[in-house]
Amino acid sequence: MKRYTALVACLCLVLQPVMALAETEPAPITGADTRLYLADGSLVEGNLIERDQDLVIMRVNDKIFTFDKTEIDKI
The total number of structural domains in the chain stands at 1
Per-residue confidence in pLDDT tens, the chain, 75 aa: 777 777 777 666 666 766 655 556 555 555 678 899 999 999 999 999 888 888 999 998 889 999 999 989 988
> What does 18-60 look like in DSSP terms, one character per residue?
HHHHHHPPPPPPTT--EEEEETTS-EEEEEEEEE-SSEEEEEE
Residue 20 pLDDT: 59
What is the pTM (predicted TM-score) of this model? 0.56
Residue 30 pLDDT: 56
**CB contact set of 51 (below 8 Å; sequence gap of 6+):** 57, 75
Residue 11 pLDDT: 63
CATH number of the domain at 35, please: 2.30.30.100
The H or E element containing residue 68 is strand 63-68
Give dist(CA 5, CA 58) in Å, integer: 53
The residue range of the domain holding 8 is 2-74
Residue 31 pLDDT: 61
